[in-house]
Amino acid sequence: MQKETCTTCGKSKSILNCGMCAVTVCKHCAQFIDEDTFSFLDVKKPEMAHSTFCNTCFDQHIAADLVLYEQTMETAKNISIYYNDQGKETRLMKRIDVLLTVNDCTDRNEIIMRLAFKAVQMGFNAVIDVDIVATKVRTGAYQTHMYRATGIPSNAHEKNKVHDRSIWQSRN
């Protein structure tokens, strides 16, 4: 019986296979990504379904997408969110015909982040008229909430933001 060796370093204790090209790699040379790394993307590439990669496949297929995903996530963390009861603050912001929707999420903060992520992907810096609806889900004696949210992406320019604090109902 022939011992398998790592294609990168040549060690004989290689027990992993690359998900793309199926070469054997040791755990020190392999690149790993979690299953939920690209969870905010609506459409994933087929390469993103694997969790173990050799260095070559990782650099060719995953690295650029991972950097772009992380940049989009950081931008989404700093986006402005205006709820549907903040009409006085958003009255000067342009509303487009696109309505962002996110369904079936168990965490309220995650659903807001998913709306923000979608808006950043479309090139906007704010989400206005956000409406979050919670639905109770009962499983026997245990009860949780499932959230769904809608919002309109917009570009919030400094000239369109209201600076009069007397009318603020601000959550931002």
pLDDT digits (tens, 9 = 90+) for 87-120: 888 888 888 889 999 999 999 999 999 999 999 9
pLDDT digits (tens, 9 = 90+) for 33-48: 998 889 999 888 888 8
C-alpha 48/C-alpha 37 separation (Å) is 9
pLDDT given at position 110: 94
C-alpha 118/C-alpha 136 separation (Å) is 25
pLDDT given at position 1: 40
**16-19 long-range Cβ contacts below 8 angstroms, 24+ apart:** 16/52, 17/52, 18/50, 18/52, 18/53, 18/54, 18/57, 19/49, 19/50, 19/51, 19/52, 19/53, 19/57
Contact call for residues 149 and 119 (beta carbons, < 8 A): no
Q: Which segments in the chain show pLDDT lower than 70? A: 1-3, 14, 159-172
Residues 6+ apart with CB under 8 A from 39: none
Q: How many CB atoms lie within 10 A of CB 141?
A: 5
C-alpha 133/C-alpha 126 separation (Å) is 20
Q: Which two tokens stand for residue 125?
A: 């810096």
